[in-house]
């Protein structure tokens, strides 16, 4: 017996023979909808029910997932897309530190959701995917519900590194900067009662959280294993500037120091033991020592992972399994300058990957303009904006890349006597062979945020310092530096001098 309810096909039989069961199976396979079989023990009945199939299923709900969904629904309007995310509300990842002061400890001020995707006709399920069957092309949710797919995208993001090797890492009041709305909402409420906090990790998130908590009159000590904060992204010069600004913001900084143990009392944090033997009294510890790709499901699915645990993908986000792609923090990066596997977990990088992936899911329509990931970093500490892109002295030396550099400073308004003027410094790094710009840094006022994007574009388009010196810019006294002293152009001009007019270029 077969019947149809609201467009869905069903079939029910009393199984009297294997032949009958095989017959109904063949019937269901011929139906225009995908069918599954549920065994019913009573009278040996089998019930065949429809499983909804989508053109695309996206696992994840962060920036990469949202941009992938938006791109597909905008340019392929007839395609059905389902996003499966674990939490109803999300957070703007880079805005998390500012919840702790600037946003009034209110996580609701930093919420991010898939509304633009839904407005374009996308579907959302707030659930957890527990299994992916890559052969049958379906996903199973924690609830037991199953959905089929034509294309599957992993955009599962990243998770904070948990230092299980440190005794006491799991004591009460030991926290992590998770990209989770309920977790951060709870943390923001709890820190209001703390007098002293130790933050472990002096990268962007750790330093920014430290600055915000110090602004809330909390006694904050930041412990960093390197000699300077921000050292994995900035040059030694800019790292020193950033570390000093963090001190000016009221943060106690202990560099070249490791946490050896977290000591508790009544299962609650009391002391932090450092590698130099010192003990710090504290009410809480916040770890911010990096993020790792959230790829356990990908591993269980049978996707290939690289040595960092990221999903192995090609330059267009395609995995080694047909019709499965990945983008964002869970996917592998290749360094733009080195071509080597790299780890850059930034929302800007994730969304760039997602746009390319979204356009190309149904055939190659957009040629990727870059051959890898260029780390473009920016922050603001104690009112000082700082940013970097590409190569600097440290990472160029580690990669065996020769560079020549120059630095120029000028007011970011003209004349510099204008009330909101600040000194803007730009440092460029170029190849001594052909003058191509391969890196840059900027620090000063808020204009730094867009200055670094000009430098980033120059690197990605292989612009040389010889071209940069004739770069035409728009200027205005209230908005920009003087056309006579544009810091990017003047720094480029200094490198031209070193390459073309000096017998030996300065190679740092």
The CATH number that applies at residue 304 is: 3.50.50.60
Q: pLDDT-based confidence at 116, cuts 50/70/90?
A: very high
Q: What is the mean pLDDT of residues 150-156?
A: 98
Contact call for residues 331 and 62 (beta carbons, < 8 A): no
Residues in the chain: 508
pLDDT of 8 strictly over 80: no
Contact call for residues 465 and 430 (beta carbons, < 8 A): yes
Residue 484 CB contacts under 8 Å (≥ 6 apart), including other chains? none
Cβ count within 10 A of residue 365: 12
CA dist 295 and 355 (Å) reads 21
Q: Are residues 282 and 180 in the same domain?
A: yes
Domain count along the chain:
4
For the domain that residue 461 is a member of, what is the CATH number? Answer: 3.30.390.30
Contact call for residues 201 and 287 (beta carbons, < 8 A): yes
Contact call for residues 367 and 114 (beta carbons, < 8 A): no
Q: Are residues 250 and 395 in the same domain?
A: no
111: which DSSP letter?
A: E
pLDDT of 12 strictly over 70: no
Plot region of 43 (φ>0 → left; ψ -120 to 50 → alpha; else → beta): left
Q: Are residues 19 and 70 in the same domain?
A: no
Q: How is residue 277 written in tokens?
A: 């033997």
Q: How is residue 415 written in tokens?
A: 């004349």
Residue with tokens 């052969």: 135
Q: Which of 179, 175, 183, 170 is nearest to 284 (CA)?
A: 175
CA dist 128 and 16 (Å) reads 38
User: Exposure pattern of 282-321 as b/e (b: 16+ CB <10 Å)?
Assistant: bbbbbbbbbbbbbbebbeebebebbeebbbbbeebbbbeb
298 φ/ψ angles, rounded to the nearest 5 degrees: -60, -40
Contact call for residues 263 and 293 (beta carbons, < 8 A): no
Contact call for residues 394 and 235 (beta carbons, < 8 A): yes
Q: How is residue 498 written in tokens?
A: 């070193």
% of residues, the chain, pLDDT over 70 = 88
95 part of a folded domain: no
105 part of a folded domain: no
| Helices and strands in the chain, H and E counts | 12, 30
pLDDT tens for 180-218 read 999 999 999 999 899 999 999 999 999 999 999 999 999
Q: What is the mean pLDDT of residues 321-344?
A: 90
20 part of a folded domain: yes
Residue span of the structural domain in which 467 resides: 383-500
CA dist 339 and 371 (Å) reads 8
Q: Are residues 181 and 282 in the same domain?
A: yes
282 part of a folded domain: yes
Q: Are residues 201 and 282 in the same domain?
A: yes
pLDDT at 392: 95
Q: pLDDT-based confidence at 340, cuts 50/70/90?
A: confident
Model-level pTM?
0.87
169 part of a folded domain: no
Q: Are residues 219 and 321 in the same domain?
A: no
506 part of a folded domain: no
Q: Are residues 299 and 282 in the same domain?
A: no
Q: How is residue 121 written in tokens?
A: 């006709």
Q: Are residues 424 and 480 in the same domain?
A: yes
CA dist 67 and 69 (Å) reads 5
pLDDT tens for 16-48 read 333 444 444 444 444 444 444 433 333 333 334
pLDDT of 2 strictly over 60: no
500 φ/ψ angles, rounded to the nearest 5 degrees: -95, -25
Q: At what angle do helices 204-215 and 236-248 cross, to 10 degrees?
A: 20
Contact call for residues 387 and 377 (beta carbons, < 8 A): yes
One-letter-per-residue 3-state SS of 380-405: EECCEEEEEEECCHHHHHHHCCCCEE
Q: Are residues 214 and 231 in the same domain?
A: yes
91 part of a folded domain: no
CA dist 451 and 473 (Å) reads 12
59 part of a folded domain: yes
Contact call for residues 370 and 363 (beta carbons, < 8 A): no
pLDDT tens for 462-506 read 999 999 999 999 999 999 999 999 999 999 999 999 999 885 544
Q: What is the mean pLDDT of residues 291-300?
A: 98
Q: Which of 111, 110, 138, 142 is nearest to 129 (CA)?
A: 142
Q: Which residues pair with 176 in a beta bridge?
A: 287
CA dist 382 and 228 (Å) reads 17
CA angle 158, 82, 356 (to 5 degrees): 60
Q: Are residues 457 and 483 in the same domain?
A: yes
């Amino acid at each position: 017996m077969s019947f149809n309810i609201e467009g869905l096909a069903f079939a029910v039989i009393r199984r009297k023979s294997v032949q009958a069961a095989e017959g109904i199976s063949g019937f269901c396979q011929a139906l225009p909808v995908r069918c599954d079989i549920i065994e019913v023990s009573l009278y040996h009945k089998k019930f065949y029910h429809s499983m909804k199939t989508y053109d695309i299923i996206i696992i994840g709900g962060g920036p990469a997932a949202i941009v992938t969904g938006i791109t597909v629904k905008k340019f392929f309007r007839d395609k059905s897309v389902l996003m499966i995310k674990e939490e109803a509300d999300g957070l703007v990842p880079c805005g998390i530190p500012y919840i702790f002061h600037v946003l009034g400890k209110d996580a609701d001020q930093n919420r991010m959701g898939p509304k633009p995707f839904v407005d374009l006709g996308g579907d959302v399920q707030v659930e957890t995917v527990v299994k992916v069957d890559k052969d049958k092309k379906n996903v199973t949710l924690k609830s037991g519900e199953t959905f089929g797919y034509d294309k599957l995208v992993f955009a599962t993001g990243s998770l904070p590194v948990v230092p299980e090797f440190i005794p006491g890492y799991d004591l009460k009041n030991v926290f992590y900067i998770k990209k989770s709305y309920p977790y951060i909402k709870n943390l923001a409420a709890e820190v209001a009662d703390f007098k002293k906090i130790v933050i472990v990790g002096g990268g962007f998130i750790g330093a920014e959280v430290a600055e915000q908590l110090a602004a809330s009159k909390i006694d904050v000590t930041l412990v960093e294993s390197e000699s300077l904060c921000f050292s994995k992204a900035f040059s030694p010069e800019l790292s020193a500037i950033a570390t000093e600004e963090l001190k000016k913001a009221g943060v106690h900084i202990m560099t070249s120091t490791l946490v050896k143990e977290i000591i508790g009392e009544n299962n609650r944090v009391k002391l932090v033991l450092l590698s130099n033997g010192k003990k710090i009294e504290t009410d809480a510890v916040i770890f911010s020592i990096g993020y790792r790709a959230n790829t356990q499901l990908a591993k269980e699915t049978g996707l290939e992972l690289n040595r960092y645990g990221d999903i192995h993908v090609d330059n267009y986000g395609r995995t080694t399994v047909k019709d499965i792609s990945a983008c964002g923090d869970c996917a592998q990066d290749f360094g733009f300058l080195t071509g080597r596997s790299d780890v850059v977990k930034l929302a800007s990088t994730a969304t760039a990957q997602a746009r390319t992936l979204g356009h190309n899911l149904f055939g190659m329509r957009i040629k990727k303009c870059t051959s890898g990931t260029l780390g473009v970093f920016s922050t603001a500490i104690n009112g000082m904006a700082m940013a970097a892109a590409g190569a600097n002295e440290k990472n160029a030396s580690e990669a065996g890349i020769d560079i020549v550099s120059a630095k120029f400073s000028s007011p970011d308004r003209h004349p510099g006597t204008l009330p909101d003027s600040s000194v803007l410094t730009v440092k460029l790094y170029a190849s001594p062979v052909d003058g191509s710009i391969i890196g840059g840094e900027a620090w000063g006022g808020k204009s730094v945020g867009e200055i670094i994007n000009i430098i980033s574009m120059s690197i990605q388009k292989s612009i040389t310092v010889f071209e940069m010196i004739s770069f035409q810019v728009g200027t205005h006294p209230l908005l920009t530096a003087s056309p006579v002293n544009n810091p990017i152009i003047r720094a480029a001009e200094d490198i031209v001098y070193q390459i073309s007019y000096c017998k030996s270029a300065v190679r740092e």
